[in-house]
């Protein structure tokens, strides 16, 4: 007997001040099965408002927009909802570094190629599907939980890393840095791939850009209206946790962290 899995439905917000480009993007996206455009914004402030109101899974952002530019909008959206997938869709090629610093999933250059948009959305669908399977436990084999070591790809080699020695993981540009009690390991593996490898152990995605080892947590402090600061043993690095993720951790640990 075989079972089929329904394709995951994806909601998208388009933030673009050019109405022609908005139309092109909407048409291209709506031709992809199970993709729905839930809103359009023609300026940065409207994009932030709609992102909070509609909670889309994916946001297509132009860089140059009135009120607030796309980079500022991306930072605010990611702080409020770390799981949101950000796609920069712009005419400017010289902002790629800044874009990936705010954890953009992809960077599309105008004029858009329809096939490129389709490929990007398929990659997103794969990512969201895997995340959903991990969440409901259907993609976490028993043999992969409570591992002692994980295999990590470094440049030109593979390294076995002891899980208990990992302090936290963070993004730096297009790479991920694994901070351990013995030093740093730079890998081209994605945060999502590493998060799946660590599933079943004491790790928590406290922010879009950070995964922390809960066994290393020393203190959690309020840090502004939307974030907390996490103090970890074995590092002096500053770790950010969104208030939304802090509430998730409260449920996980059965404690109050945000008051």
pLDDT at 145: 43
Distance CA 29, CA 121 (A): 8
pLDDT at 102: 54
The pLDDT confidence band at residue 3, using thresholds 50, 70 and 90, is very low
pLDDT at 141: 40
Strand positions, DSSP E, 191-245: 203-207, 210-213, 217-223, 227-232, 239-242
Predicted confidence (pLDDT) per residue in 51-78, tens digit:
989 889 999 988 888 888 888 888 888 7
Residue whose token pair is 């790629």: 96
> 157-162 and 149-154: which strand pairing?
antiparallel
DSSP state of 84: P
Q: Quick one: tokens of 210?
A: 């950070």
Contacts of 51 (CB under 8 A, 6+ apart): 13, 59, 73, 77, 80, 81, 84
Does residue 106 register a pLDDT over 70? Answer: yes
Share of the chain above pLDDT 90, in %: 15
Residue 40's DSSP bridge partners are 14
Is residue 228 within 8 Å of 217, Cβ to Cβ? no
Higher per-residue confidence, 36 vs 254: 36
Distance CA 193, CA 197 (A): 6
Does residue 198 register a pLDDT over 50? Answer: yes
DSSP state of 105: S
Is residue 124 within 8 Å of 10, Cβ to Cβ? yes
Residue ranges and CATH numbers for the domains of the chain are 10-135 (3.40.50.2300), 146-253 (2.40.50.1020)
Give whichever of 9-23, 93-107, 111-125, 197-211 has the largest mean pLDDT. 9-23
The pLDDT confidence band at residue 147, using thresholds 50, 70 and 90, is low
Distance CA 151, CA 256 (A): 35
**How many other CB atoms sit within 10 Å of the CB of residue 247?**
13
Determine the angle formed by the axes of helices 44-54 and 70-80, rounding to 10 degrees. 20
Distance CA 31, CA 91 (A): 23
Taking residues 121-126, what's their average pLDDT?
85
pLDDT at 207: 86
Q: Quick one: tokens of 189?
A: 């593996």
Kindly list the distances between the CA atom of residue 207 and the CA atoms of 191, 227, 240, in Å, as whole numbers in the listed order: 11, 9, 7
């Amino acid at each position: 007997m075989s079972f089929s899995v329904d394709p995951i439905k994806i909601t998208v917000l388009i933030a673009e001040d050019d109405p022609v480009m908005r139309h092109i993007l909407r048409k291209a996206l709506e031709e992809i099965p199970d993709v729905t455009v839930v809103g359009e914004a023609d300026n940065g402030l409207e994009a932030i408002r709609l992102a909070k109101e509609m909670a889309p899974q994916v946001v297509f952002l132009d860089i140059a927009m009135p009120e607030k530019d796309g980079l500022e909008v991306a930072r605010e959206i990611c702080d409020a909802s770390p799981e949101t997938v950000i796609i920069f869709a712009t005419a400017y090629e010289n902002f790629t570094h800044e874009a990936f610093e705010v954890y953009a999933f992809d960077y599309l250059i105008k004029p858009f190629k329809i096939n490129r948009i389709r490929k990007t959305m398929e990659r997103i669908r794969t990512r969201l599907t895997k995340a959903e399977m991990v969440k409901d436990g259907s993609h976490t084999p028993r043999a992969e939980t409570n591992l002692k070591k994980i295999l990590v790809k470094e440049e030109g080699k593979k390294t076995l890393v002891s899980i208990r020695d990992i302090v936290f993981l963070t993004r730096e540009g297009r790479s991920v840095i694994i901070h351990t009690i013995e030093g740093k390991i730079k890998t081209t593996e994605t945060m999502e791939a590493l998060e799946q490898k660590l599933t079943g152990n004491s790790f928590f995605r406290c922010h879009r850009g950070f995964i922390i080892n809960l066994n290393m947590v020393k203190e959690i402090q309020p840090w502004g209206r939307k974030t907390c600061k996490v103090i970890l043993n074995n590092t002096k690095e500053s770790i950010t946790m969104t208030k939304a993720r802090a509430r998730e951790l409260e449920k996980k640990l059965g404690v109050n962290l945000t008051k």
